[in-house]
Structure 1
Amino acid sequence: MNPIFVLVSIIGLVITLWAQWKVRGNYQIWSRVRARSGLTGAEVARRILDRNGLYHVPVQMVPGSLTDHYDPTARAVRLSEHVYTSDSIAAISVAAHECGHAIQHKEAYGALVFRHRMVPVLNIASGLAPFLLMAGIFFKFTGLLMLGLIFFSVVVLFHLVTLPVEYNASSRAKKIMAIEGFVHGPEEERGVRRVLGAAALTYVAGALVALLELLQYVFILFFQNDRD
């Protein structure tokens, strides 16, 4: 068992668990606080979309918890059952965030467009990278390891491009909610910041873990070359 793998695995696990703990903790706290506007997540989403000319984008309910997302292929905002039906600060924050992605799509926001174009390449790279990396390490074949690094770099780049996409969507959501009166007062605004800020940490954690893994393989490549 390579100590580098062990160390990176432990660090990655700690970062991931911490991010998940922050998300679930803030979501649970603010899901118990009702917004004074009385609007549900579905109602907030519909109003935001309509006021941005996105009448054709449906708001759909999907099963599961924290399964909320914007589907760029179907051009649909999909909200988990709790977010769809609840009038909590957490629910309307998540709903507004997903609408932020729909607005990005309408405006052809650069980072979002680039991320969408990366998806076909990502699907290939993420499938091949682990096999190439493991084969390169096991057989001590530098060429395979280098090819695996190139493919894995695409995965890391996708994580990095995702960060501005998510932060921009949250920034749009906070501004829209304040302007439209979906939240009232500093306490509700603080709740929105806490919920969306914690959610963004999951993407930061994903990017950090991917970068750590990339550096791990780079180190192994140089170590292998030095031994050769």
Structure 2
Amino acid sequence: MPYYGYYGIDMYYIVLVLPCVLFAFWAQNKVNSTFNRYSRVQNLRGLTGAQAAEAVLRYNGVSGVRIEYVSGKLTDHFDPRSNVIRLSSAVYSSTSVASIGVAAHEAGHAVQYAIGYAPIKLRAAIIPLTQFGSMAAMPLLILGLILNTSTLVTIGIAAFGLSTLFQLVTLPVELDASRRALQTIQQNGLLTADEYPMAKKTLTAAALTYVAALATSLAQLLRLVLIFGGRDRNDR
């Protein structure tokens, strides 16, 4: 497959990366539409997102984790540095089925840290490397091209690969947090039998965004390898 097709079109991008980018756009739209849909369904127990997070922590024997409000939509996250679950305005005090799923998921991350779940410890450990890699990859590649130095190009590709590694480690972390959340919701009757599938659909839609992020990063990495691998062969 040629690197450039007609009119200088990057064929590797068209064939490899663009489908993943479109998938990522679709996945983001899917999570937003699913969350919005089930945000209009109130759970029969009248449980708030904050209370659902507390229930997940309590069920798993985790204490000392604070639950706080944070502004924004779908800005929910667990901060391991301060041991705080931060829930957005659409989740914290909401009694919607969607908010229960999201809050329980974030509490699932707190449980992972509390029990020493290996993948999340690995993700935390490689964050500095992946941040460096994402910043250094393109400058290294460009510098390698300018200086015609294959070593710098290879290092640049490897640096980009660190961000792909981060996405690879993140996916099982997110899936496991959702599994813990749904298990607690079901076993503790936080939602009814009719409401549970709605929370599950919300978290499944969210998981697709991580699948899309990994697919896009892998496609970009493969594109770089093919481009510069082909260039090395052509230079011989």
The TM-score with structure 2 as length reference comes to: 0.91
Map of 1:1-228 to 2, 5 A cutoff? 3-4=10-11, 6-7=13-14, 8-137=16-145, 140-185=148-193, 187-228=194-235
CA shift digits 1:2-49 (9 cap, x unpaired): 513641553243122111111011101111111112100011112222
SS, match of residue 83 in structure 1: coil
For 1:64 and 1:53, how far apart are their aligned partners in 2? 29
Q: Which moved more, 1:193-202 or 1:117-126?
A: 117-126
- How large is the Cα RMSD of the aligned pairs? 1.5
SS, match of residue 87 in structure 1: coil
CA shift digits 1:172-228 (9 cap, x unpaired): 10010011111111x212101110000001110000000000000000121111111
Percent of paired sites with the same residue? 37
Aligned-residue offset at 1:123: 1.8
Q: Is the 8 A contact 1:4 1:216 kept in 2?
A: no
| Greater helix proportion | 1
For 2:141 and 2:20, how far apart are their aligned partners in 1? 18
For 1:217 and 1:136, how far apart are their aligned partners in 2? 13
Change (3 A) 1:9 1:211: closer
For 2:146 and 2:103, how far apart are their aligned partners in 1? 46
Letter in 1 for 2:49: G
For 1:125 and 1:92, how far apart are their aligned partners in 2? 36
For 1:137 and 1:10, how far apart are their aligned partners in 2? 24
Letter in 2 for 1:203: Y
Aligned-residue offset at 1:160: 0.4
For 1:188 and 1:161, how far apart are their aligned partners in 2? 30
Q: Is the 8 A contact 1:37 1:182 kept in 2?
A: yes
CA shift digits 1:56-111 (9 cap, x unpaired): 10001101000001111111111101100111110000000000000000110010
Aligned-residue offset at 1:144: 1.5
For 2:63 and 2:114, how far apart are their aligned partners in 1? 12
CA shift digits 1:118-147 (9 cap, x unpaired): 112112111111211233345543222100
For 2:198 and 2:46, how far apart are their aligned partners in 1? 15
Q: Is the 8 A contact 1:67 1:79 kept in 2?
A: yes
Change (3 A) 1:137 1:23: farther
Q: Is the 8 A contact 1:37 1:181 kept in 2?
A: no
Regions of 4+ moved over 6 Å: none
SS, match of residue 84 in structure 1: coil
Q: Is the 8 A contact 2:59 2:184 kept in 1?
A: no
For 1:216 and 1:138, how far apart are their aligned partners in 2? 19
Q: How many residues align?
A: 227
Q: Structure 2 unaligned segments of length 5 or more: list them.
A: 1-7
